[in-house]
Amino acid sequence: MQSELTNTQRDIQKAAREFAEKEFDLDLALELDKEARFPVSIFEKACRLGFVGIEYPEEYGGQSFGLFENVLVTQEFCKRDSGIGISISLADIASGILFRHGDENQKKNFLTPVIQGKAISTVATINSSNGSEKSTIPSIVEEYPDELVLNGETPFVINGSIASYIVVFCKSKNNKLISLIVERNQEGVENLGLQRMMGLRMSSISKIRFDHVRIRKDHWIGEESEGTEHLRCYLIERRIKTSSQALGIAQGAFDLALKHSKQREQFGKKICQFQGVQFMLAELYTLIEAAGALVYQAARSYDSQSSDMEKISSVAKLFTTDVAVKIIIDSIQIHGGVGLMREYSIERMLRDTKTIKNLEETILIQKALIAGEIL
């Protein structure tokens, strides 16, 4: 996974690794997970150092790199700590939509503050975890030339309790998908409370209700007909970022298992000297290499906007999240009893990975998308 990186990319990777090792306090992570709190000060510091929004142009506060560099940073962050790593990676979840489709004012007012660490964003989208049409999507109930009125409810909104604005995908009166910026403190925006999840607890997954929220024209993103395209691009980006999170966590779990196997002695030997453990490690290592190659390829496809980016993003998410769960389950197994204890971060890695794997589009959806592409 290393050989193909440029010197600059290696520098970014190294800087991200050093930052995570220095700043991500594992005791704090345990507490944040338990209390469902976001790592505010670590996020702010990561923003100051340019890790967050690294893929956006300097004029908006970014570093003018690509999604590939974001993947490198996310991987290193999540390798060190799943909860802190993912929650920082998710804090700017709406940025891509604003950057790709927003106007200059929207970028200045909403994208830049997040890159600077002054705000956290979120996206309320169709709860498409299983392509379920039963789940509701907010809709426009009144339309005026300068104002739209939004009604509805969205479950499982990442950062729901901490975001200062929400990019909402909703249905227009013509039944088209549109995206809008809704500010969190606007009248009619109500947080219906934290949804307790298996993992991802630092990202305050919440249910949000929109009750006759009035949205001015300067908060509409693009044209009415463009929403579907906004969502398509958003999901491609999300799949690649989720893959990079899963990849990083899997590496982190594997590193812990490898270390443990070299330290733990039973029957007068290090457990890594037993072939049963060696072959498990060999298999996990192989899966990590394969997943890494896929994620990097997907990120490069995105950066070059290649025609296969949609398919490869699904392939990467399907494979990486699936093998990451396996890698973590087996890494816990290599640890034995200690791997089950909450004070040791590996059980949290399983909870977090299982959650990112399923919160948005599931592997069933990915398979359906891939099948559609290849047939």
Partner 1 sequence: MLMNLSEYHRSLIKKVKDIAERISIRNRDVDETSEFPWDIFQIFTENHILDLPIPREFGGGDADSFTCCLILEEIARFSPSSAHMIGGHWLGFTPLKLFCNKSQKEKYFPRLRSSLSAFSLTEPSAGSDVGGIITNAVRKGINYILNGTKIYCTQGHVANVITVFAKTNPEMGMKGLSTFIIENGFPGFSVGKIEDQMGMRGTPAAELILQDCLVPVENLLGKEGDGFNIAMQTLDRTRPKDAAISVGIAQGTLDYVLNYGKEELFMAEPIIKSQAVQFLLADMAMSIEAARLLVHKAAFLIDEERVSSKHSAMAKCFATDMAMRATDHAIDIMGAAGVSREHPIEMFMRDAKLLQILEGTNQIQRLVISRSLLS
- Contact residues toward partner 1 (CB under 8 A) are 127, 129-134, 155-156, 195-200, 265-267, 276-277, 325, 329, 332-333, 336-337, 339-343, 347, 350-351, 354-355, 357-360, 362-364, 367-368
* Residue tagged active-site, from 23, 153, 360, 361: 360
CB of 33 to partner 1, least distance (A): 11
When the beta carbons of 163 and 200 are compared against partner 1, the nearer one is: 200
Could you confirm whether 237 is annotated as catalytic?
A: no
Rounded Cα distance between 126 and 313, Å, is 19
CB of 350 to partner 1, least distance (A): 7
Relative to beta strand 220-221, strand 177-183 is antiparallel
One-character DSSP codes across 63-74 = -S--HHHHHHHH
When the beta carbons of 300 and 354 are compared against partner 1, the nearer one is: 354
CB of 361 to partner 1, least distance (A): 8
When the beta carbons of 81 and 347 are compared against partner 1, the nearer one is: 347
When the beta carbons of 12 and 327 are compared against partner 1, the nearer one is: 327
CB of 49 to partner 1, least distance (A): 31
87 touches 39 (CB < 8 A): yes
Rounded Cα distance between 79 and 247, Å, is 8
Q: Which of 91, 119, 85, 41 is nearest to 199 (CA)?
A: 85
Q: Which of 366, 372, 369 is nearest to 319 (CA)?
A: 366
Torsion of CA 193, 199, 200, 206, to 10 degrees: -10
Rounded Cα distance between 248 and 81, Å, is 9
CB of 6 to partner 1, least distance (A): 36
For 282: left if phi > 0, alpha if psi spans -120 to 50, otherwise beta; the answer is alpha
When the beta carbons of 202 and 213 are compared against partner 1, the nearer one is: 202
Rounded Cα distance between 335 and 322, Å, is 21
Rounded Cα distance between 91 and 81, Å, is 15
CB of 173 to partner 1, least distance (A): 23
When the beta carbons of 150 and 359 are compared against partner 1, the nearer one is: 359
Residue type, 47: C
Active site residues: 360
